[in-house]
Amino acid sequence: MGFRSSFAAFLGKSARWAGETFMHRSAGNLPGVIAMKAAPAVLADLSGAADNIAVITGTNGKTTTTNLAADCLASSGRPLYCNRDGNNLESGVVTAYLVKPERAAEGASSDAPVSCFECDEMYTRYVVPRVKPRFFLLLNLFRDQLDRVGEIEHVQGAIAAALEGSPDTVFLYNGDDPLCAAIAARVPNRSLAFGIACDMGLDADRISDSRFCQQCGAALEYDYVHYGQLGAYRCPSCGWGRPELSFAAENVRMLDGSLAFDIDGHTVQTGQTGVYMVYNTLAVYALSKASEIVSFEGFQQAVEAYRPTNGRLQTFRLGGRSVMTNLAKNPTGFNQNIRIVLNEGGRVLALFVNDEEADGCDVSWFWDIDFERWSQIEGLKAFVGGSRANDMQVRLKYAGIPSTIVENAADVLAATDESDGKVYVIANYTALPPLRRELEALEKASADGCARKEGE
């Protein structure tokens, strides 16, 4: 690494130290921003510090999948660089390199660090050509924040440009998504597809982001649809269709509130509910096996031990009450949360939606969410919050769901009781972190109260 990049890294590390020392905060992007100002090529230089296994992107599931993949890679015992907190711009990846790598268990075959990074779809064109990972993992593509990133064709172009800038990177993608498969068809990179090779008997979503052939524009035919546009598709006009799956999940089934599937003679259990967790776990399996540094035992142990801590499918215990939080920032994400609530028989729902810059200001997508599925829940209690609470309340009204505007999760808990069952808190990007912090404080207070009673 040259003098300029070394000096830039020093400035970034100093900024991070200052933030932790004087502001008691670990900045996820600012150190990277400072380093990049001092040396625009700093990311390419820093990337030489590790065997860069993967850059992971997609509309939904990036953070969860990246954390699970990082846990699997850590099972190899090698030091690990990862932006686990979801700082997924180029500056966030730079910052991750400025921090000492996570030190895994002893007994690794090599002390050479590995890396695994989450990346925003539109920033892959900058990160992938500079990091040059062995694998570029694409989870899915859905319409999301149209006022920020535009239509899906724009996102596809950015991802294709990223791959073209790193020709030796293997493209690992969701073959069940025709929007992902279309990218594989247009780039020269070696490609491997993963997918679900069985019909789970799910009802198709009312809204799909694309069920048209990406080659000729004809309407696709499906043997089955899992959700959105994901499933077993083919074009009756030109013959284009779902590619051969290099990693295929079979016999997907529900087991005690979680999902399981079979692959390569093994049974994998997700530990979390939601069909998209099958895709996330399957993607990590594909990456783990293709990397050749993660054993199945290491993968299985990481999956079994994985417990979300970033608000995504995270459960909080408040005495006799249980609260689950999850992120939803587009129609497909909300529709999958709707399925989770229906599958688990939930009756208390709290939706928090903001319209800050990171969320996108256009909330017309509320009308593409299938809230009508919730309207038949007996004894349903619905709450809305955030800067666009009124808009969400109107949308629920037209779905036949009366709701109450609240300020925070404590208001929801105060308006319900233990007999109402589990509380489901669903929030978009900027609304989720404060809710998570609030629930963490409430959980700690509840645990401390229980401990005092036991000590009396």
Query: Does a structural domain hold residue 3?
Result: no
Query: Does a structural domain hold residue 1?
Result: no
**195 and 272, same structural domain?**
yes
Query: Does a structural domain hold residue 68?
Result: yes
Query: Does a structural domain hold residue 184?
Result: yes
Q: For residue 214, what are the contacts with CB-CB under 8 A and spacing of at least 6?
A: 178, 179, 181, 182, 185, 240
- Please identify which residue in the block is written with the tokens 């002893």: 106
Query: Does a structural domain hold residue 346?
Result: yes
In the chain, the number of structural domains is 2
Per-residue pLDDT of the chain (456 residues; tens, 9 = 90+): 788 889 899 899 998 888 777 666 667 788 999 999 999 999 999 999 999 999 999 999 999 999 999 999 999 999 999 999 888 999 999 999 999 898 766 666 678 999 999 999 999 999 999 999 999 999 999 987 655 556 889 999 999 999 999 999 999 999 999 999 999 999 999 999 999 999 998 877 766 778 899 999 999 999 999 999 999 999 999 999 999 999 999 999 988 778 899 999 999 998 887 888 999 999 999 999 999 999 999 999 999 999 887 888 899 999 889 999 999 989 988 999 999 999 899 999 999 999 998 888 889 999 999 999 999 899 999 999 999 999 999 999 999 999 999 999 999 999 999 999 999 999 998 999 999 999 999 999 988 777 666 666
Residues flagged as binding site for Zn(2+): 213, 216, 235, 238
**322 and 301, same structural domain?**
no
**Residue 7 near residue 1 (C-beta atoms within 8 A):** no
Query: Does a structural domain hold residue 374?
Result: yes
Residues forming the active site: 362
Alpha-carbon distances, residue 97 vs 109, 116, 127, 452, 456 (angstroms): 22, 11, 13, 43, 49
**284 and 338, same structural domain?**
no
Q: Which of 382, 438, 447 is nearest to 408 (CA)?
A: 438
**347 and 271, same structural domain?**
no
**283 and 334, same structural domain?**
no
* Residue 98 belongs to domain with CATH number: 3.40.1190.10
What's the domain range around 352?
A: 314-455
- Distance between CA 426 and CA 333 in Å, rounded? 10
Alpha-carbon distances, residue 255 vs 54, 275, 343 (angstroms): 30, 13, 12
